Amino acid sequence: MYGQGTCQLCRAGYYCDATYGPVTSIINSSCPVGYYCVNGTAWSTQYPCPLGTYSQNPNLEAADQCLSCDPGRYCGTLGRNDTEGECSEGFWCKSGAISPTPTDGSKGMICPRGHYCPRGTPFPVPCPLGYWSNTTGQSTPETCQPCPGGHYCDQPGLGDPSGQCDPGYFCLSRATSAKPSEGVLIGDICPPGHYCPEAGTVTPIPCPIGHYASSNGTVKCEVCPVGHYCIDGVEPVTCPPRFYCAIGTGYVHRSCANYIEECVIGSSNCIDSNAQCVGSGEDFTCTCKTGYTGDGFACIDINECLVNHGGCHVDAECINVVSNHSCVCHTGYSGDGYNCEGSTKLTVTGILSMSSDYMP
């Protein structure tokens, strides 16, 4: 204004640029969008909104009036009137990010393990239950891997599986518990007829023939009991009449040959010729004959020579024969094999006499 004794300080929110002459009015000197103007600002772009901020309104008077860059976006240059763009795939951006690929942690970071970060995300998205991811910088949900066989993943955002399935259970894929119950496609308790012997079982193991598991959660199949046979692995089946089933019988339950009402001398209900029948009708037993061992249905020869040299003398050879054995004295010895004596005895006198024949 004319006649003023002093110049006034330019008001905050405006700038007073005297480059082309004295400033007489601030009406047309509003601080532009993307900038702020403190008291005494000399030109329009003197104070840009800092990195990580922007402004969409004019006449800002201080830096703290600039807006922090929106989450999921970044503001990487000064004096912005809008955000610069979205955060890159594989990264996440907090409010105030200055880069599409932040690494400082305070404004964002590369996507961590167990998560994925699509373009423009303000936070990492966790892999869901039953999945995991052990690599960083992933950008799509497809990069989350199903929890592997034998393991479970019981919470979102895992960088490693939680652990192995418990014994008695199996985990095929995507299990969410150490004791899963999601069914055969994911994991469950071990079903009857199968066993899951240790932690980390992937699929139930069928009981071998001659064994069974009648309940859920079995870690070891039971041996089929005497008088029964086991082929489906679930329940023992009673041995049919005129057959016998030894312990662990599977498909083959043997016929009791020549079944008669009673044991007859010279004839036997017992299959093995080295067994003898005792009893009558269905109430009979088979026992191995002397010199044999077994369950009465399968008898094998006992090698008596393996125990205490068969009782033979130390200077005798033990010879095993069917159902028996014999002892034979070594060459130069005589006796019945249980007692052996040397056939040639040299006395001291005889030795001296023999020696004198060769003396000069």
State both tokens at 19: 């480059």
Domains contained in the chain, number: 3
- 47 found inside a domain: yes
Instruction: Judge whether residue 353 has pLDDT over 50.
Output: no
Cβ 37 vs Cβ 14: under 8 Å: yes
pLDDT of 121-166, one tens digit each?
A: 999 999 999 999 999 999 999 999 999 999 999 999 999 999 999 9
Which range has the top average pLDDT, 160-164, 225-229, 306-310?
160-164
- The confidence band for 265, taking pLDDT boundaries of 50, 70 and 90, is very low
Q: Is residue 262 part of a domain?
A: no
pLDDT of residue 322: 80
Work out the pLDDT band at 252, boundaries 50, 70, 90: low
User: pLDDT > 70: what percent of the chain?
Assistant: 85
Q: Are 124 and 94 part of one and the same domain?
A: yes
Task: Write the pLDDT tens digit of every residue in 58-80.
Answer: 999 999 999 999 999 999 999 99
What pLDDT, on the 0 to 100 scale, is given for residue 348?
35
Q: Are residues 17 and 63 in the same domain?
A: yes
How much is the average pLDDT of 179-201?
95
Within 49-138, residue ranges assigned H as helices are none
Residue 164 lies in a domain: no
Q: Which amino acid is at 77?
A: T
Domain-terminating residue out of 146, 169, 188: 146
Helices (H), the chain: 348-356
pLDDT bracket for residue 291 (50, 70, 90): confident
Per-residue confidence (pLDDT) for residue 262, from 0 to 100: 40
Whether residue 98 sits in one domain with residue 49: no
Query: Residue for token digits 């999921």?
Result: 72
**Under a CB-based contact definition with an 8 Å cutoff, are residues 190 and 196 in contact?**
yes
Q: Is residue 238 part of a domain?
A: no
Q: What is the mean pLDDT of the chain?
A: 86
The amino acid occupying position 336 is D
> What's the rounded Cα separation, in Å, for the pair 196 and 206?
9
CA distance 49 to 55: 7
Amino acid letter, residue 95: S
Q: Whole-angstrom Cα distance, residue 204 to residue 217?
A: 10
**Co-location of 100 and 140 in the same domain:** yes
First-to-last C-alpha distance (Å) of the chain: 163
The conformation of residue 314, written as its DSSP 8-state character, comes to: T
Tell me the two tokens of residue 330.
Answer: 């070594």
Is 64 a domain residue? Answer: yes
Beta strand pairing call for 53-54 and 67-68: antiparallel
Please report which confidence band the pLDDT of residue 351 belongs to, taking 50, 70 and 90 as the band edges: very low
Would you say residue 327 has pLDDT above 90? yes
Give residue 61's domain range: 7-68
Q: Within a domain: residue 60?
A: yes
pLDDT band at 183 (very low <50, low <70, confident <90, very high): very high
Q: CB-based burial of residue 162 (10 Å sphere; 0-12 exposed, 13-18 middle, 19+ buried)?
A: middle
pTM of the predicted protein model: 0.62
Instruction: Please report whether residue 324 resides in a domain.
Output: yes
Asked whether the predicted pLDDT for residue 289 surpasses 90, the reply is no
Same domain, 63 and 93: no
Q: Is 241 or 199 the better-scoring residue by pLDDT? A: 199
Residue 187 lies in a domain: no
